[in-house]
Each structure stands twice: as structure tokens, then as C-alpha cells.
Amino acid sequence: MAETTDARVAVYLDFDNIVISWYDRVHGRNSYGKDRQRITEHPNDPEVVERLKGAMIEVGAIIDYAASFGTLVLTRAYADWSSPVNAEYRSQLVARAVDLVQLFPAAAYAKNGADIRLAVDAVEDMFRLPDLTHVVIVAGDSDYVPLAQRCKRLGRYVIGVGVAGSTAKSLAAACDEFESYDSLPGVVRPTKAAPPAVAAEPETVPEPEPVAKTKSAPKTRSRTKAATTAVAAPPALDEQGEATALLQRALRLGHDKADADEWLHSSAVKTHMRRMDPSFSEKALGYRSFSDFLKSRDDIAELEETGHERLVRLRESAS
């Protein structure tokens, strides 16, 4: 992998692509296509709200993963932000300093609308900012293969992020490194069988005919398809809980780039935590040093101090 020292990272999110792909991953193949009209026309319908809530994207997990490669120089998300599906994310994205690029409906739903705009901006940025070292493409379309190849020819290290089952193999092959959104720390994977589309009708299944034939019509029974299974929203965390979750994500990402049992330098872990959340400060949380902060989390972090060197790793029980 490319060296991360002084690495400068640009992130491009085809937001419609990742939202639709994850919706289909949670609720079943082609679910978004079946539900699109109802979502557009009745965004406040309780059943629609519940299905959208169950397929919410964890924006922070994507940004944190990108930050593990170096300093985020620019982060852009492309979508029609007036759409009810995407509007839910605006505050989250703005809070993480993501630039929202508006694609008006004529372009947002036209084929390759976001793809072309994103690709043009990425190539322009590489010439405008020659110190960019890494490019993160959050999408799954094979249309991005030429962009990934061009970035590599221009000397950039290309990382792809996409939803499992909805990402073209050619895109993953065109990147230097590819990570499934499902496997990012902080993402809750769907565990139950995906329910059908919102507008599904009860299904009538005929009973098998009895052995002795009669003249009466065969009986029928009504079978309603499985109800929607939504992923429960995690409880709100206080400052201490947020710091613990931040530490756990940083350690997981650090181990992903090394051996699972390898010790990490505590200073590198702290730097990564500050990249993911620049507001993090152990002193603001009441600790004299970062080592004291780590010792207070000994249920998830194992600390080893030898001389002036302080090493840390994620405990097996927390992994």
C-alpha cells in the first residue's frame, strides 16, 4: 500500500448509488425500484419512513475509513438533495465538512448524470491539486472504471468503497484497494431475510386437493408476506461513549491495515482519531494524557508501556 505519511485524500461519493444499493441490500433485490414511486409521493407514510430508517447509510463510517489513509483535502457528495431520501443526510454530511453537489432532477435521474459530473470534477481536481496522493471513490457502477484507471495513471492511489452484491467486479479490479461498505467499522449489517417491497399484496395460495375428489371448489388460504424488519437505531451516546466508539473504530481500522494481533503506536492511533473527529481531546474528557484515556478503556484497549514507547491494540473480546 502507498505510504500514508503526509498523504492527502480526496473523497467522491455517488450518494444516490450508495443509498439505493444499501436499500436493496437491506430490503431485497430491486426493492428501491419497486418502492421509488411511493417514497416520492408519500415520504411521510409510516411504513415508508420505517423502511428508509432501516436502510440508513452510516456516513461517519465512510468518512472515518477515508481518513485512515491521510488528511482529507476535499470530500464531495453528488445527489439531488431535494429528494426526501437524500435530504435526511444533509445535516450529517454538512457536520462532517462534506460539500454537497446538487444534481437537479433532470440530471439526477438521467443515465450517468452523477457519474459524468463526479468524473469531470475528480480529473480536474487532480490537475488543480497536484499534491493529492489518494482518491476514494464511493460507488459501485462499472462506469467508474475509466476514472479509476485514469487516477492510477496520474500516480494516485485509488480506493473504492461499494455495497456488497451491488458493486461491479470490474470496478473493484480497477482500484488499488477496495473495501465493502458492509465491512466498515460502525456499519450494522442486515441479519434477517429481506422483506418484500412496500406495495406487496397478500398472496393467495391454494390448499392441496384432498385424496377423495369432491365437486366443491378447492379451499384457499391467505398468506401475508413477512413484515418489514428495520435495523434498530443505536442509542444516543454521551461524550465519553462517543470517545470510546471513536477509539474502537480507530483500532479496528489500524488492525485492518496490519496484522490483527500487531501492536499499534498510541500516537498513531490518536492521530487517526483526530483525523476522524478533529474535536477529540482527551483533556476535554478529563484525562491528563492519552495513555490515561487508554487505561480507562482497558475493556477494549490493551496498553503496553516499554520505556518511552507506548503500544496499544484492540482486545480480542472487543473485536
Mean pLDDT by 10 residues, the chain (319 residues): 71 93 91 88 89 91 93 94 88 92 67 81 95 96 94 95 90 91 86 50 53 47 44 69 92 82 90 84 91 94 88 83
Helix (H, G, I), strand (E, B) or coil at 311: strand
Calpha distance 107→130 (Å, rounded): 30
Note the pLDDT of residue 193.
46
Q: Which residue has the cell 434498530?
A: 232
Using DSSP bridges, classify how beta strands 8-14 and 71-79 pair: parallel, antiparallel or unpaired: parallel
- Return the pLDDT at 232: 54
Under a CB-based contact definition with an 8 Å cutoff, are residues 14 and 138 in contact?
A: yes
Per the CATH hierarchy, to which homologous superfamily does domain 239-318 belong? LOTUS domain-like (3.30.420.610)
Q: How far is Cα of residue 132 from the mean position of the Cα atoms in its chain?
A: 23
**What pLDDT does 295 receive?**
94
C-alpha span between 283 and 204 (Å, rounded): 64
**The CATH number fitting domain 8-183, selected from 3.90.1170.40, 1.10.10.1100, 3.40.50.1010, 3.10.100.10:** 3.40.50.1010
Put simply, whether the predicted model's pTM sits higher than 0.85 gets the answer no
The residue extents of the domains of the chain are 8-183, 239-318
Pair 318, 299: CB distance under 8 Å: yes
8 Å CB contact between 136 and 10: yes
Phi, psi (degrees; rounded to nearest 5) at 315:
-65, 150
